[in-house]
Amino acid sequence: MLDVQYTRNAPRNITGTVHDGGNEPLRGAVVQVEQEGTMTIQSYVTDERGTYRIRNLSSTMDYQVWATFRGHHSKHFEISKFDKQADREIPLVIDLTKD
């Protein structure tokens, strides 16, 4: 029997794509990650395909992830320190028709 243990201090990675309501990728959208507790925010800009990649997040902290584009924003997604998934894909949708 193979004994695989979860390493609590292993870094986590998040990838995803930012789209508008019509499923078109948003190049230049800003993806923000807030570390709860310290309220430190890191920002990442999406590439020409609307994709983003965030690496080496602490597995012992909670995070909020969202995107903004030209004054509009997506829903906030929570990543819990209790989530054992090392790598996550989080698609973010920004409805550009709402004011």
| CA distance linking residue 62 with residue 53, whole number of Å | 18
22 located within any domain: yes
Kindly state the average pLDDT of the residues 50-58.
94
27: left (phi over 0), alpha (psi -120 to 50) or beta: beta
83 located within any domain: yes
The model's pLDDT over 60-70, given as tens digits with 9 standing for 90+, comes to: 999 999 999 99
6 located within any domain: no
Q: Which of 25, 3, 6 is nearest to 16 (CA)?
A: 25
99 located within any domain: no
Residue that the structure tokens 């983003």 belong to: 52
28 located within any domain: yes
Domain count, the chain: 1
Question: Quick one: 70 exposed, middle or buried, by C-beta within 10 A (0-12, 13-18, 19+)?
Answer: exposed
pLDDT at 39: 83
Instruction: Answer yes or no: is pLDDT of 30 > 50.
Output: yes
The model's pLDDT over 68-83, given as tens digits with 9 standing for 90+, comes to: 999 999 999 999 999 8
Kindly state the average pLDDT of the residues 29-41.
93
Determine the structural domain holding residue 77 and report its residue range.
12-94
pTM beyond 0.75: the answer is yes
pLDDT at 86: 85
Instruction: Answer yes or no: is pLDDT of 43 > 90.
Output: yes
1 located within any domain: no
Task: List the CATH number of the domain containing 69.
Answer: 2.60.40.1120
26 located within any domain: yes
pLDDT at 5: 45
3 located within any domain: no
